[in-house]
């Protein structure tokens, strides 16, 4: 019973709900004077949110106060969506009060929804020639540093490290247990300040290598995050290839 309770609690705190909620935001200008702004959530989680319409926050690390009704939380700006990127206009915030759930009532009342994973993403509708020639998988796969939390029915959550990532799946560095192909599971992935949740099944598993997971569903709203991360990885890989070519005199 204790393990089941822990699993349910993990599911609740890991939930991110795609929902639009109006919020009032207080930020502080260069003279440290409080200023008010209105914004709207894109999605919410226990300890943070993505918001849109926040016009005056300029850099990551800024502290703002977010109010909805009588609830008020102080938050740190974790990231700001880059212009012309999939996350343009969005800002990620995280509460600085780690022991407090920002949206407790909303998370209890609303359901986390998923949508089917579709074919290849275009990573900003760009095609990377050198990368595409080297990587002929159905979805280009990139090496990446990040972490993952595995959750299976009636099993305790298990932590693992991300080895690589694509739009259709990922590979996880060794886990404590070897999962047989076909095992259904849920994954919470964390890469830098970004997180996303997917559901899928184990495609292959090797004790010394890890497990390969094929994505079947992705949490609503997370497709943009995944496409942004993959586009950045594609750009970094293309830049590395070009630099190597220049050094080789090609």
Q: How far is CA 60 from the centre of its chain?
A: 17
Give this prediction's pTM. 0.74
- The per-residue DSSP string of the chain comes to -HHHHHHHHHHHHH-EE----EEEEEEE-TT--EEEEEEEEEEEETTEEEEE---S--STT-EEEEEETTEEEEEEEEEEPPTTSTTTTEEEEEES-TTS-TTHHHHHHSPP-EEE--S---TTT---HHHHHH--SSS--EEEEEEEEEE-TTS--EEEEEEEE-SSEEEE---SSPPPTT-EEEEEEEETTEEEEEEEEEEEEETTTEEEEEEEEEETT-HHHHHHHHHHHHHHHHHHHHHHHHHTT-
pLDDT at 214: 95
pLDDT of residue 241: 85
CB within 8 Å of 165: residues ≥ 6 apart: 141, 142, 144, 146, 189, 191, 229, 230, 233
- CATH 2.40.10.220 corresponds to the domain 2-109: yes
**pLDDT at residue 14, as a whole number:** 63
- The pLDDT profile of the chain, 250 residues, written as one tens digit per residue, is 344 444 434 444 468 899 999 999 999 988 889 999 999 999 999 999 999 998 888 899 999 999 998 889 999 999 999 988 999 999 999 999 878 888 888 888 888 889 999 754 444 444 333 334 444 456 788 999 999 998 887 778 888 899 999 999 999 876 677 788 999 999 999 998 899 999 999 998 876 678 899 999 999 989 999 999 999 999 988 888 888 877 877 5
Instruction: List the beta bridge partners of residue 44.
Output: 17, 49
Q: Do domains 2-109 and 114-247 have the same CATH topology?
A: yes
pLDDT score for 242: 82
C-alpha 110/C-alpha 125 separation (Å) is 33
Determine the pLDDT at residue 101.
Answer: 85
* Chosen CATH of 114-247 out of 1.10.357.10, 3.30.1330.200, 2.40.10.220, 3.40.640.10: 2.40.10.220
Tell me which residue has tokens 């022991």. Answer: 99
pLDDT at residue 194 in the model: 92
Q: Where are the domains of the chain?
A: 2-109, 114-247
Q: What is the pLDDT of residue 170?
A: 93
pLDDT on residue 243:
80
């Amino acid at each position: 019973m204790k393990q089941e309770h822990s699993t349910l609690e993990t599911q609740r705190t890991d939930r991110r709900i795609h929902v639009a909620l109006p919020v009032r935001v207080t930020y502080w200008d260069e003279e440290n004077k409080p200023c008010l702004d209105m914004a709207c959530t894109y999605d919410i989680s226990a300890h943070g949110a993505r918001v849109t319409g926040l016009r005056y926050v300029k850099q990551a690390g800024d502290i703002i106060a977010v109010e909805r009704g009588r609830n008020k939380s102080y938050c740190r700006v974790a990231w700001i969506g880059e212009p012309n990127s999939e996350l343009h206009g969005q800002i990620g915030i995280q509460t600085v009060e780690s022991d407090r759930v920002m949206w407790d009532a909303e998370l209890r009342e609303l359901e986390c929804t998923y949508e089917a994973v579709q074919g290849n993403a275009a990573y900003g509708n760009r095609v990377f020639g050198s990368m595409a020639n080297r990587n002929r998988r159905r979805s280009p796969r990139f090496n990446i540093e990040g972490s993952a939390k595995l959750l299976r029915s009636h099993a305790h959550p298990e932590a693992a490290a991300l080895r690589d990532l694509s739009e259709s799946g990922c590979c996880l560095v060794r886990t404590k247990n070897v999962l047989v192909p076909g095992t259904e599971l849920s994954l919470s992935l964390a890469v830098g300040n970004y997180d996303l949740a997917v559901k899928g099944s184990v495609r292959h598993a090797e004790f010394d290598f890890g497990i390969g997971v094929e994505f079947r569903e992705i949490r609503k709203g997370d497709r943009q995050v995944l496409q942004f991360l993959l586009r950045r990885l594609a750009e970094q890989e293309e830049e590395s290839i070009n630099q190597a070519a220049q050094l080789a005199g090609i």
